[in-house]
Amino acid sequence: MTPEVTGFSKLNKHQKIDWLVANHFQNTEKAKQTLHNYWNANEQLQQLHDEFAENTLSNFYLPFSIAPNFTINNKRYTIPMTIEESSVVAAASNAAKFWNKRGGFKATVINTEKIGQVHFSFSGKKEHLNSFFKSIKSKLIAAITPIEANMKKRGGGLLDIQLRDKTQELANYYQLHCTFETVDAMGANFINTCLEKFAEVLQIEALEYDDFSDAEKNIEIIMSILSNYVPNCVVKAEVSCKVSELPNTENLSSLEYAEKFVRAINIAEKEPYRAVTHNKGIMNGIDAVVIATGNDFRAIEASAHAYAAKNGSYSSLTHAHITNDVFTYYIEIPLAIGTIGGLTSLHPMVKLALELLEKPNAKQLMEIIAVAGLAQNFGAVNSLITTGIQKGHMKMHLLNILNQHHATAEEKQKIVQFFTKNTVTHSEVIKQLALLRA
pLDDT at 287: 98
| CA 91 vs CA 85, 95, 97, 186, 369: distances in Å | 11, 6, 10, 29, 15
pLDDT at 390 over 60: no
Among all residues, which ones are annotated catalytic?
85, 280, 296, 393
- List, in sequence order, every residue forming a beta bridge with 239; answer none if it has no partner: 329
Give residue limits of the domains in the chain: 8-50, 64-111+231-386, 114-227, 393-437
pLDDT at 324: 98
208-260 pLDDT tens trace: 999 999 999 999 999 999 999 999 999 999 999 999 999 998 889 999 999 99
pLDDT at 436: 81
173-206 pLDDT tens trace: 999 999 999 999 999 999 999 999 999 999 999 9
pLDDT at 13 over 70: yes
Least confident piece of the model among 227-236, 370-379, 387-396, 418-427: 387-396
Percent of the chain with pLDDT over 90: 84
pLDDT at 345: 84
**Cβ proximity of 115 and 179 under 8 Å:** yes
Q: What is the β-pairing status of strands 106-109 and 173-181?
A: unpaired
Phi, psi of 66 (to 5 degrees): -130, 150
Q: Distance between CA atoms of 114 and 226, rounded to whole angstroms? A: 8
pLDDT at 339: 97
Question: What mean pLDDT is reported for the chain?
Answer: 94
| CATH code of the domain made up of 114-227 | 3.30.70.420
Structurally, at CATH architecture level, domain 64-111+231-386 sits in Alpha-Beta Complex (3.90)
pLDDT at 399: 77
- Helix and strand numbers (H, E) in the chain are 15, 10
